[in-house]
Every structure is written in structure tokens, then in C-alpha cells.
Amino acid sequence: MTTARSRLTPEREVELFDAVLALLREVGYSALTMDAVAARTRSSKATLYRQWGSKPQLVATALQRCPPHGDIDIDTGSLRGDFHALLSHSDDAQMKQDSELIRGLFQAVHEDRDLYEALQERFIGPEISRLTEVVDRAVARGEVRSDNPARELAAHMLLGAFFTREIIDDQFPDREFLTRYIDSVVLPALEA
Amino acid sequence: MTTARSRLTPEREVELFDAVLALLREVGYSALTMDAVAARTRSSKATLYRQWGSKPQLVATALQRCPPHGDIDIDTGSLRGDFHALLSHSDDAQMKQDSELIRGLFQAVHEDRDLYEALQERFIGPEISRLTEVVDRAVARGEVRSDNPARELAAHMLLGAFFTREIIDDQFPDREFLTRYIDSVVLPALEA
């Protein structure tokens, strides 16, 4: 397996994974075919199967390899400042891409454990860690009560706003909307 | 078209739509095939196409025809009471079914306008109306400020909790979780 993989250059791998994620955003997991990946990347299907074994393995690997949003080192001194700073690190185009990606995986992660874990590891987990850090610091500063039950629900609030924007309002989540949601929902709940 | 449709009894139609929605929950929209619907309902694919024209039309019709959750007439006299009463009208099995249904449609509603509208009309719209009624009464009672910006976000909060439960925590939303979310997030934001 290692020998087979080593035939692709790292640059070629990145190109291939980018194409997989782009297709995932465009058509969703279920409609993504190895034929389409092969066509878009000008590889043969045989190569794809030899290198990654199967569609779920290829997509899970592409998810794991896609560059993280960046370690954001934020400490503005207030909960509101930290949340706004978090948002300012991702632009509207990035949010649209993430929204499309998660939409494309929503059904699939339920059906394939590797995909679920890749999504957790790559998107959900890091998001939870960042929120936990920000909220823990606010607890330490006395801005949030340590026993506030909303602490455990920070990710549900924020990702919830992210996931529902398209289905309720027929538009992608963007910074304007998430800022409004943070100010109107997340902060009042955490500071209650 | 009317003549063709009239060949199915109403009971048979209900049976058929139930099977379509059950398949949708099981495999999601993209993997749902007319073959599978035909097999499960013991109809011919020709009949399905003659009656409904296409898979999106059949699924959209099945959504529109599925019995509403019931007009809930709730007025407990408090915002908290009303939210808890709303929850008590749907049991955990129903929530699991709704969660599966929406998961199965998440990508498809983006791609097909009829499906998007059927989901809006049948699930999202009624949910928003119920929440708006409950919150408007709380405003009239003085429990919620009329200019509270969280008023417009009630559906994002609640449906957000509903949609994220599975992807964050790997379990279906249930009454215990939503009660906790309402008490910790929705009420503090609306009563801020």
C-alpha cells in the first residue's frame, strides 16, 4: 500500500483531494462517483481504487488531509470580543464552502463510520475545542458562571445557526448573520 | 393526469407515501430509487412514473401529504410553560423520524426547488408559525421585550439544536435534550 501511494507526488495528492472536496460540495456524497473524480483529476479509476480502496476511504482521507482553518490564537479579554474575533477569521466564501461540505456529508456520516470520524476530527472537534477555550477563559474572568448549563451547548448553538441558515432562510450563513446570532443568542445564554 | 391518479384508492396512496417517507429516512433522498419504492409497495415502476412523473415529484407529493403534527393549541400562560408543552406534544420516536427525514433531504432540497418548498410548507413553516405564536404571546404578556433580536431567531435556535444533536453527539435529539436546550439557551436569549 505504501509503495502504491508513493507513486503520487504530494502536490498531486493535494490536487486530487481538492477535487474530491469540490465535487462533494457540488453534488453531495451520495451523487459523487469515482468516475467523476477520475474525470476531473485526469486519473484512471483503477489508480483511485488502488490508492484508496473505496469511495468512503477516498473521501475520508480527503477530509482528513484538507488544511485546517488555522490555529487561531485569540484572547481579546472579553467573551464578546473573542467570539467576534473568531468570526473575523473566516470569510463568507469559506463559510459557504464549509456549509456546502457539511450539507453534502449530512446523510453519509450517518451511514459510514469513517466519514463520521473524519468530519468530527477535521471540523466538529476543532470547532468545539475553540469554543471551549473561549468560554473557559470567560468563566475564569467571571463573565460566565461556571455552572451555566449553556456552556456545554455552545457548539450546538453556533453550528445550529450555521446549519439552519440555508434550510430556514434559503441563503448561506455569513458573517453578518452569525454576528447577529452570537450577539442575540449565544452571549445572552452564556452570560445569563 | 387526474384520470390516471384516480386509479389509486386514497388508502393505497397513503400506503405508498408512507413507504416513500420510510425509504427516505432509511437511505436518504439520493439513494432512494423508484425501483426500491416499487418493490416495497408492490407496484410497477411504470405506475409510479405514470402517476407522479418523476422521483422528485413523488417525494415532494409524499412530503406534502404526510399528516401534519397536529394543530397544537397551547396557552399555558408562560413562555417556559408553552415551550415545554410544545415539546410534550412530540415523543422521542417522532423526533427521531423527523430528524432522519430532514437528514435524508438536506442535500436534495438544495438541488430541487419542489422538494425545498415541500419541506418548507410541511415542516419548517409550521414550526416557525408555532414558535412565532408562542413568542408573540410572551411579548404581549411582557415576558419578552418586543425589540429582542432573538425573536427572529427562535426557529434557528430550536431547529439548530435538533439538527446538530446527531452530528455533534452521535445521538438523536430527544425530549430530555431539547428541554435542556430550551431552558439553557432559548429562554435566556428570549428573556434577556
Chain segment A33-47, per-residue pLDDT in tens: 999 999 999 999 999
Cβ <8 Å between B148 and A192: no
pLDDT band at A69 (very low <50, low <70, confident <90, very high): low
pLDDT at position A2 is 46
Determine contact, residues A25/A101, Cβ cutoff 8 Å.
Answer: yes
Residue of B nearest to A121 (CA): B168
| Angstrom distance (rounded) from CA A111 to CA B100 | 12
Share of chain A above pLDDT 70, in %: 95
Cβ <8 Å between B30 and A107: yes
Fold equal for B2-65 and B79-190: no
The domains of chain A are located at 2-65, 79-190
pLDDT at position A71 is 65
pLDDT at position B74 is 86
Cell digits of residue A134: 473561549
Amino acid identity for residue B85 in this structure = A
Distance from the Cα of B152 to chain A's closest Cα (Å) equals 10
Cβ <8 Å between A180 and B149: yes
How many residue pairs from chains A and B have C-beta atoms closer than 8 A? 125
Residue of B nearest to A192 (CA): B188
Whether the pLDDT of residue A4 is over 90: the answer is no
Cell digits of residue B62: 409524499
Nearest to B160 among A119, A128, A157 (CB): A157
Residue of A nearest to B32 (CA): A30
Nearest to B153 among A111, A156, A184 (CB): A184
Residue of B nearest to A116 (CA): B167
A80-84: average pLDDT: 96
Q: What residues of chain B lie within 8 A of the CB of A188, using their CB?
A: 150, 188-189, 192
Determine contact, residues A70/A93, Cβ cutoff 8 Å.
Answer: no
Sole residue written with cell 415539546: B87
Q: What residues of chain A lie within 8 A of the CB of B155, using their CB?
A: 164, 168
In chain B, which residues touch A (CB < 8 A)? 28-31, 102-104, 106-107, 109-111, 116, 119, 124, 128, 148-150, 153, 155-157, 159-161, 163-168, 170, 180-181, 183-185, 188-189, 192
pLDDT at position A73 is 78
Q: What is the ipTM of this complex?
A: 0.90
pLDDT at position B59 is 96
Residue of A nearest to B151 (CA): A184
Sole residue written with cell 502536490: A11
Closest-CA residue to A188 (of B164, B131, B148): B148
A110-115: average pLDDT: 93
Cell digits of residue A189: 445564554
pLDDT at position A6 is 52
pLDDT at position A140 is 98
Nearest to A124 among B128, B160, B167 (CB): B167
Distance from the Cα of B1 to chain A's closest Cα (Å) equals 31
Instruction: Specify the CATH number of the domain B2-65.
Output: 1.10.10.60
Residues of chain B with pLDDT under 50: 1-4
Nearest to B157 among A31, A104, A185 (CB): A185
Determine contact, residues B110/A109, Cβ cutoff 8 Å.
Answer: no
Average pLDDT over chain A, rounded to an integer: 92
CATH 1.10.1270.20 fits A79-190, yes or no: no
In Å, the largest CA–CA distance within chain B is 59
pLDDT tens string A123-156: 899 999 999 999 999 999 999 999 999 999 999 9
Cβ <8 Å between B181 and A119: no
Determine contact, residues B146/B139, Cβ cutoff 8 Å.
Answer: yes
